[in-house]
Amino acid sequence: MIVTYLLRRVLYGFATVLGVLLLLFVLFFLVTTPDDIARRALGEKAPPEALAQWKVNHGYDKPRIWNPEAPTDTMLAEHFKRMLTFNFGNSDADDVAITRRLREGVGPSLSLALPLFLLDLPLAIALALLVALLRETYVDRLGVALCVLGMSVSVLLYIVGGQYVLGKALRWFPISGFDPRPSVILRFLALPVAVGVMSGLGEGVRFYRTVFVEEVGRDHVRTARAKGCGEGRVMIWHVLRNALIPILTQVVIAIPFLFTGSLLLESFFGIPGLGALTVDAINNNDFATLRTMVYIGSLLFILGQILTDLSYAFVDPRVRLE
Amino acid sequence: MRDARVAAVCLLVCLGVACSNNPYPDSDDKERVLYLNYQEAPKTLDPAVAYSTVDHMIVGPVFDTLLQYHFLERPYRLIPGLLTEMPEVTPRDDGRVIFHLKLRDDLLFQDDPCFALGTPGATTRPVVAADVAFQLMRLADPKVNSPVAPTMARIAGFEEFTARLQKLREGDQAFMARRIDAQYAAAGGIDGVRVLGPTELEIVLREAYPQFRFWLAMEFTAPVPWEAVAYYDGSDGRDKFAEHPVGTGPFRLALYDKRLRIELARNPNWHGVLHPEAHAPGAVYPAEGEPDDAARGWLDPAYVGRPLPFLDRVDFELDKEDIPAFTKFLQGYYDLSGIIEESFDRVVHQGRLSPEMQRLDMQLAKAVEPAIYYIGFNMRDPVVGAAAGERGRKLRQAMSLVIDSQAFMDIFLNGRGIAAQSVIPPGIFGYEETYLNPYRRVDLERAKALLREAGYPGGIDPKTGKPLHLTFDTGDTSARGRLRYQFFVDAWSRIGVNVEIAATAYNQFQDKVRRGAYQLFMWGWVADYPDPENFLFLLWSESARSAGGPNTAEFSDPRFDELFLKMRDAPDGPERFRLIQQMRGILETERPWIELFHPESYALIHGWVHNAKPLGMSSSTLKYRDVDVRLRAEKRAEWNRPVTWPAWALLGLAVIVIAPAVRTVRKRMR
């Protein structure tokens, strides 16, 4: 039964990915042309001969969608062929193999995303449990107000504010940059991780608090209390455990994206991860890299959804995958 | 509970270790390293292709050039680099010109495993004339796709070599698989490039082109070992040559993680290091310069005559955002910086360093760039162009008379630049400081009179009875760009001309330019080399945009063209100056351009950096730079003491907020 379910989800996912690839191709070439890509790669002073040769060397001299003489010899067909065979080719911006860029970028992305994930989630759950435990006290009200405030502030403000206060004014951490050497890596990660945790905390605490408060009012929690369980035990064993499904929804889907990095944090803090690679690809008109990142992002999204469904069934025996 | 305490202690220890804003390992403090930043990663390090400033930032120090610019003298003067003397130029009766080059005989390439391809076990080899010939063949190779191939086509047999190579490669996979030097040999080499001996070669040009000497001062013509190109082909896990340069310069590439950091290290094989006793012109610090160079500290006796380079390493850090990069510079972690607009008023007061910057012992280096920004008219347009005859000319003159370049620079560039009177910027032969273009001052009354004479009294187009409507085409759709264009539109509205900004996506703008469907545009040009030809050719009819050239104004005037060819081939001197004056006169009246400004670069340099005179041309000056490491370490420590009291204040606040909560929790738990 589960195999049929998985097969169906994979097929749906495949269709979605094809749609994403088609949409990306259409949107990208609506706003730019192969000439722009060539000019961006070779510079403003490049003569027309060099631009034309560049297009030939990179396959951008072919008809875009339809070639009556050779239907498969088009940019669109090449686009699908490359993606579906995982032959990503070279970057349009600098001709470096995209697989190499991916390999180089995963480390920095994970070194930011993993501590961020590991700190953000337990902290948000712990604070949410605390405010749920102290609901309708000043802590709860202050906590909710701070959460709403935290959610309302743009991530950019956290980044710029963090850089200004912690990097420039207090001189605790480097304002930006990255260095994988063990002697200095913590210096560079401290600020983006702190900013990432701060910016995500409001939303996380508010969401988990709602889940926990709803769970606290359920019969089984009242029964546990009636049986004489301490409040701590009630919160951990009866509330948290039964609130796992909404937590999993947030968590499992986020796991695959740890690899693709954070667009904003990586870009603003100069961390050479996959998020920054995507932003660079957009800025450089680097279609080859951009489509690879979008493709990988779509695949990971589908994977995340399937994993979430599986984890539902795992933690809640009432859920059946059909 | 115990686990939580352990985790908290670990976190505090981590934060303690992390608590420093120094982005470099402490071990770097005592090394002679220059720290710079870059905002955009280089696209290629192949000297046959690299054409942008950021590419040259790395390619320049790694590939020494045959000729180079004197570091201190202005106007720019070429001196031998890898050559023993300046090239001997011999015109032939058939119009061809021969450049005879003699390389130094003490040159070695940097160490690299690629040389084992030629001699097993070798890590370097002497530089020979054939390496220059090889690089010239690379410029002709369509697979390399060098942007300067059209310029180099002036070498006799250049295009023929391209055609032969292309033909041999067509559909022949076996030929394509051959080693690159074998492919070039099979194609017969370039007829006009003759290797006469291990260190001698001749380059035959099809026609007189005196500016060719400037190309010998660029990395495009620097010697490249065939072994490096053959070995670094991107296969079997090896790099591509475009990211693994092997050159002859004072520095070698030590680390190339271009999305993070690039490191150059001193090249122990550089001729200046191996043979300091030779006192080669580009291998020792110069003794002569401009009159005020001594006062600026650029002729310090401690450096004059000493062998180069002074630095052990140059670190380039990627910092894409202006503000963090500038903050790091102010913290002492970058040694040089441009000045960001947001901080300009804090840093510069009336063209000089502010008292705050003077207290930090900063130096300010200003240099007018060999560049020009201008508004161009499409001379093929029926209203503003040549077809409109005298009407069009007067209209262009009138429109030129209302643009205040100084006001534009004051508003948008913090005044960084000088108002342009002609096409040629200062520092380039033909520039005349006292020349005032009669159409490049603001004179509203004269502009209105000219407009009246052009048949547009009060700016009214008699055909429509409404203000004359023109379009100002641009590929810049940003709000900032719009403001800049609006400045000009407002100026023209003062004489009644209604100019509409037609801002489209860049590719649409390019398409308009290709189709000739534009009236006004704004553009800039940065010189490749310091010669008036490199500016005046922007208005030569053979450089027309419709023919693929940079003459976007499509200006075409037989008088100008004739003078241009004479000027191009003439040596610097009174005759050439007279020709330039005549050409300037034509442009003054015809007004295909409204010359706006020559930008001025402002660089802030810390007091511990020595010999940072800006060169202006894209030629590396890193080998002349030096840093006082001790002073830098002291200043960094002084400027970057962490402020800790807010941490304690935060901790106190947290205790005040959390303590009652903990009490409540405990109560509830019970």
Q: Which residue has the higher pLDDT, B325 or A44?
A: B325
Q: How confident is the model at residue B312 (pLDDT cuts 50, 70, 90)?
A: very high
- Say what the pLDDT of residue B669 is: 65
- Say what the pLDDT of residue B8 is: 57
Percent of chain A with pLDDT over 70: 98
Q: What residues of chain B lie within 8 A of the CB of A42, using their CB?
A: 49, 51, 145, 147
Record: contact A36-B146, CB cut-off 8 A: no
CA distances from B541 to A49, A126, B200 (A): 19, 74, 37
Q: What residues of chain B lie within 8 A of the CB of A94, using their CB?
A: 41-44, 242-243
* A250 CA: distance to closest CA in chain B (Å): 24
Query: What DSSP element (H or E) covers B54?
Result: helix B53-62
Is A98 a residue whose pLDDT tops 80? yes
- Say what the pLDDT of residue A96 is: 87
- In degrees and rounded to multiples of 5, residue A317 shows phi and psi of -60, -15
- Say what the pLDDT of residue B663 is: 80
Q: Which residue has the higher pLDDT, B508 or B265?
A: B265
Q: What residues of chain B lie within 8 A of the CB of A169, using their CB?
A: 643
Determine how β-strand B261-266 pairs with β-strand B313-318: antiparallel
Residues B527-538: tens digit of each pLDDT: 989 999 999 999
CA distances from B274 to A150, B128, B199, B308, B382 (A): 62, 17, 18, 11, 64
Close Cβ partners of B475 (under 8 Å, ≥ 6 residues apart):
B503, B504, B505, B506, B507, B508, B509, B510
Task: With beta carbons less than 8 A apart as the criterion, state whether A275 and A262 touch.
Answer: yes
Q: Which candidate from B41, B240, B321 shows the least CB-CB separation from A268?
A: B321
- Say what the pLDDT of residue B420 is: 97
Enter the tokens of residue B595.
Answer: 């010359």
- Say what the pLDDT of residue B300 is: 94
Q: What residues of chain B lie within 8 A of the CB of A163, using their CB?
A: 323-324, 327
Enter the tokens of residue B399.
Answer: 């429109």
Alpha-carbon torsion, ordered B300, B303, B304, B305, to 10 deg: 170
Distance (Å, rounded) from C-alpha A92 to C-alpha A89?
Answer: 9
The SS3 call for residue A46 is coil
Searching chain A, which residue's CA lies closest to the CA of residue B44? A94
- Say what the pLDDT of residue B234 is: 86
- Say what the pLDDT of residue B11 is: 56
Searching chain B, which residue's CA lies closest to the CA of residue A45? B147
Is B7 a residue whose pLDDT tops 60? no
Searching chain B, which residue's CA lies closest to the CA of residue A133? B665
Q: Is B594 left (phi over 0), alpha (psi -120 to 50) or beta?
A: beta
- Asked which of B50-54, B299-303, B444-448 is least confident by mean pLDDT, the reply is B50-54
Interface test with B, best of A176, A178, A191, A277 (most B CBs within 10 A): A176
Q: What is the CA radius of gyration of chain A?
A: 24
CA distances from B631 to A33, A68, B33, B303, B313 (A): 52, 70, 13, 18, 17
Q: Average the pLDDT over B388-395 and give the result.
A: 96
Q: What residues of chain A lie within 8 A of the CB of B320, using their CB?
A: 267, 270
Q: Average the pLDDT over A22-51 and give the result.
A: 82
Enter the tokens of residue B620.
Answer: 């590396």
- Say what the pLDDT of residue B12 is: 55
User: Measured on CA atoms in the order B111, B113, B117, B123, is the torsion positive or negative?
Assistant: positive
Q: What residues of chain B lie within 8 A of the CB of A61, using their CB?
A: none
CATH T-level topology, domain B60-244: Dipeptide-binding Protein; domain 1 (3.90.76)
Q: What is the mean pLDDT of chain B?
A: 92
* B466 CA: distance to closest CA in chain A (Å): 35
Record: contact B18-A175, CB cut-off 8 A: no
CA distances from A42 to A11, A47, B524, B541 (A): 41, 9, 17, 25
- Say what the pLDDT of residue A188 is: 93
Close Cβ partners of B180 (under 8 Å, ≥ 6 residues apart):
B226, B229, B230
Task: With beta carbons less than 8 A apart as the criterion, state whether B381 and B519 touch.
Answer: yes
Record: contact A94-B261, CB cut-off 8 A: no
Nearest to B229 by CA among B178, B179, B287: B179
Counting other chains too, the contacts that B509-518 makes at CB distance below 8 Å and 24 or more residues apart are B509/B473, B509/B474, B509/B475, B510/A35, B510/A36, B510/A39, B510/B475, B512/B473, B513/B473, B513/B545, B513/B552, B514/B545, B516/B378, B516/B380, B516/B381, B516/B546, B516/B554, B518/B378, B518/B381, B518/B471, B518/B473
Distance (Å, rounded) from C-alpha B348 to C-alpha B356?
Answer: 9
CA distances from B54 to A269, B50, B264, B604, B611 (A): 21, 9, 14, 19, 21
Record: contact A47-B150, CB cut-off 8 A: yes
Q: Which candidate from A46, A167, A186 shows the least CB-CB separation from B147?
A: A46
Q: What is the mean pLDDT of chain A?
A: 87
* A205 CA: distance to closest CA in chain B (Å): 16
Distance (Å, rounded) from C-alpha B668 to C-alpha B107?
Answer: 83
Record: contact A270-B319, CB cut-off 8 A: yes
- Say what the pLDDT of residue B46 is: 96
- Asked which of A264-268, B67-71, B603-607 is least confident by mean pLDDT, the reply is A264-268
Q: How confident is the model at residue B230 (pLDDT cuts 50, 70, 90)?
A: very high
Domain borders along chain B are 60-244, 371-601
Q: What is the DSSP letter of B661?
A: H
Record: contact B147-A50, CB cut-off 8 A: yes
Nearest to A204 by CA among A141, A151, A161, A265: A151
The SS3 call for residue A87 is coil
Q: Average the pLDDT over B117-125 and give the result.
A: 95
Domains and CATH numbers, chain A: 2-84 (no CATH), 102-315 (1.10.3720.10)
- In degrees and rounded to multiples of 5, residue B548 shows phi and psi of 90, 5
Q: How confident is the model at residue A5 (pLDDT cuts 50, 70, 90)?
A: confident
Q: What residues of chain A lie within 8 A of the CB of B242, using their CB?
A: 94-95
Distance (Å, rounded) from C-alpha B353 to C-alpha A88?
Answer: 51
Task: With beta carbons less than 8 A apart as the criterion, state whether A82 and A24 touch.
Answer: no
- Say what the pLDDT of residue B424 is: 96
Is B659 a residue whose pLDDT tops 90? no
Enter the tokens of residue A106.
Answer: 């995963």
Q: How confident is the model at residue B667 (pLDDT cuts 50, 70, 90)?
A: confident
CA B194 to chain centre: 32
- Say what the pLDDT of residue B4 is: 55
Residues B60-109: tens digit of each pLDDT: 999 999 999 999 998 889 999 999 999 999 999 999 999 999 999 999 99
Is B355 a residue whose pLDDT tops 80? yes
Q: How many CB atoms lie within 10 A of CB A11?
A: 10
Is B277 a residue whose pLDDT tops 70? yes
Q: Average the pLDDT over B201-228 and give the result.
A: 96
Query: Does domain B371-601 sit in CATH 3.40.50.410?
Result: no
Nearest to A171 by CA among B20, B220, B348: B20
Burial B380-412 (b: 16+ CB within 10 A, else e): bbebbbbebeeebbbbbbbbbbbbbbeebbeee
Percent of chain B with pLDDT over 70: 97
Task: With beta carbons less than 8 A apart as the criterion, state whether A273 and A108 touch.
Answer: yes
Record: contact A267-B320, CB cut-off 8 A: yes
**Are domains B60-244 and B371-601 of this chain identical in fold?**
no
Record: contact A130-B331, CB cut-off 8 A: no
Searching chain B, which residue's CA lies closest to the CA of residue A187? B18
- Asked which of A160-174, A242-256, B494-508, B523-537 is least confident by mean pLDDT, the reply is A242-256
CA B608 to chain centre: 25
Q: What is the CA radius of gyration of chain B?
A: 29
Determine how β-strand B78-80 pairs with β-strand B67-69: antiparallel
* A30 CA: distance to closest CA in chain B (Å): 11
User: Measured on CA atoms in the order B455, B457, B461, B462, is the torsion positive or negative?
Assistant: negative
User: Measured on CA atoms in the order B431, B433, B435, B436, is the torsion positive or negative?
Assistant: positive
Q: What residues of chain B lie within 8 A of the CB of A48, using their CB?
A: 548
Is B24 a residue whose pLDDT tops 70? yes
Distance (Å, rounded) from C-alpha B320 to C-alpha B276?
Answer: 39
Q: Which candidate from B52, B506, B643 shows the least CB-CB separation from A171?
A: B643
Q: Which residue has the higher pLDDT, B664 or B481?
A: B481
Q: How confident is the model at residue B5 (pLDDT cuts 50, 70, 90)?
A: low
- Interface A–B counts its CB contacts (< 8 A) at 170
Q: Which candidate from A47, A189, A190 shows the least CB-CB separation from B548?
A: A47
Is B400 a residue whose pLDDT tops 90? yes
- Asked which of A205-214, B368-377, B603-612 is least confident by mean pLDDT, the reply is A205-214
Q: Average the pLDDT over A92-118 and give the result.
A: 91
- Say what the pLDDT of residue B670 is: 63
The SS3 call for residue B8 is helix
Q: What residues of chain B lie within 8 A of the CB of A139, using their CB?
A: 660-661, 664
Alpha-carbon torsion, ordered B493, B499, B500, B502, to 10 deg: -140
Record: contact A272-B661, CB cut-off 8 A: no
Q: Average the pLDDT over B650-662 and give the result.
A: 84
Q: Which candidate from A42, A53, A171 shows the least CB-CB separation from B640?
A: A171
